[in-house]
Chains A and B, each alone.
Chain A
């Protein structure tokens, strides 16, 4: 992995976070910085620049050799923060990034310590297919004996039950695996009984 590129990203991440945290519409060079090295033609909006950066980071997160560096850049926090954004693309990319790097022990513990499970569970109700799919997988990967109670809580299991009936193969496959491998039969049974009596719950994503 070219270090130059990662250093460049570091600069962007810094810029990203500063812009984000102040919330001020002050002059931000992030769009300019990104456009100067991107193949994207035409002007960059701040939102687009952010999306580009996040997408890049999420893709870097696929490769374990980058994990140390990403941790140093506090990208894990960035991903978790982005989960509550209004911008659907930012949520999608952040969720994808988390999905990519959460199998690593250190990353896993970090996410769990930072109470990351909750926003991820909320992503299950997103209308964006990729977001939901990434969230399901991430919950699986984050399930440990300690975190189990949270990641396989009743509402989650209920939700997975409904997903397993979805026409979307990817989603139903993942949900089935979740139910079969990560939940105990009593858990599934309890959720099944509950969903028979209630109509409300986490909605299925739009296809």
Chain B
């Protein structure tokens, strides 16, 4: 089977759920892979005897992708689950957003190489000039996509509405309460959990670029993420992500939020204060590690999970 953007969806159809009143457990299991926006049983859907069918809608396509891969053909309370995408449940707007996200991802991914190349040479002029024009990476993406594109089409796209949908959802989640397996989800929710003071100009672009960028940076073949991290290692997962997210190198320096990052632009994460001693200690350790790692990781490809887990781990444990 060939996977295209049309086949994939934030909506997942789950068949074969045993009719034992386990909806809560089911949702909890899927929530390991990312934030879930909606879920309900599909009573009218054909199902085998003693099984139910559920629809789960993830906030992010990437999370749905991973959840499907992991949960499909998995045993659940004695029954074998069958998980597939359900794009037929999307609204027009959701489909539109899905296509836009794909477009942005490609735009960033194909720019990525240029940025890496420029990064080797000191002081990339190309990205620097872009930076000076627009602080916000969103604009960079816009100008890039728009160059090949009829501007009217782009402005009619749900760029703005898409953005505003997310913050309200994500801000409710802090890293403490919703462990996000997927790097995308974690970065974004962590992002908003910490940055309640993000300025409006940065905010709209705040999460989309990291999403696509994190995807690109993390996994060259992003349809093949195969890293399951159990809940307890969430801390090291987050730490690893920070290390790989070397573009966030400004964590170490603090004040200057408008400082420009070389390479793919990302809104800077202001200094982290998670109101928690152990977390702050961890964050400091992460920051230091990040500084250490920042240069060497810059142009290499994905850091494999195996290798990162071999790195010295932060001793502090996060209180759940």
Chain A interface (Cβ < 8 Å from any Cβ of B): 1, 55, 58-59, 62-67, 92-93, 96-97, 99-100, 103-106, 108, 130, 133-134, 137, 140-141, 143-145, 148, 168-170, 173-174, 176-177, 180-182
Q: How far is the CB of A101 from chain B (nearest CB, A)?
A: 9
Bound complex: CA A55 to CA B109 (Å)? 23
Contacts beyond the supplied A55-B1, A55-B2, A67-B110: 8 A-B pairs with Cβ under 8 Å:
A62-B223, A64-B216, A99-B6, A100-B5, A105-B110, A137-B6, A137-B99, A173-B91
| Interchain CB contact under 8 A, B153 and A104 | no
Q: Please, which residue of chain A has its CB at the minimum distance from the CB of B158?
A: A181
Report if B258 contacts A (CB, 8 A). no
A and B contact pairs by CB, cutoff 8 A, 10 listed: A55-B1, A55-B2, A62-B3, A67-B110, A99-B5, A103-B107, A105-B110, A137-B4, A169-B87, A173-B90
Report if B221 contacts A (CB, 8 A). yes
Summarize A's interface: helix, strand, loop or mixed. Answer: helix
| Top-6 shortest CB links A-B | A96-B2, A64-B109, A103-B106, A65-B220, A173-B95, A58-B2
Which residues of B134-190 have CB atoms within 8 Å of chain A's CB atoms? 148-150, 153, 156-157
Contacts of A59 in B (CB 8 A): 2-3, 223
Report if B88 contacts A (CB, 8 A). yes
Bound complex: CA A168 to CA B90 (Å)? 12
Q: Please, which residue of chain B has its CB at the minimum distance from the CB of A136?
A: B6
Q: Pick the contact of B110 from A64, A168, A174, A181 — CB < 8 Å? A: A64
Q: How far is the CB of B296 from chain A (nearest CB, A)?
A: 20
Report if B222 contacts A (CB, 8 A). yes
Contacts of B96 in A (CB 8 A): 177, 181
| Interchain CB contact under 8 A, A108 and B148 | yes
Contacts of A145 in B (CB 8 A): 149-150
Q: How far is the CB of A94 from chain B (nearest CB, A)?
A: 9
Report if B92 contacts A (CB, 8 A). yes
| Interchain CB contact under 8 A, A141 and B103 | yes
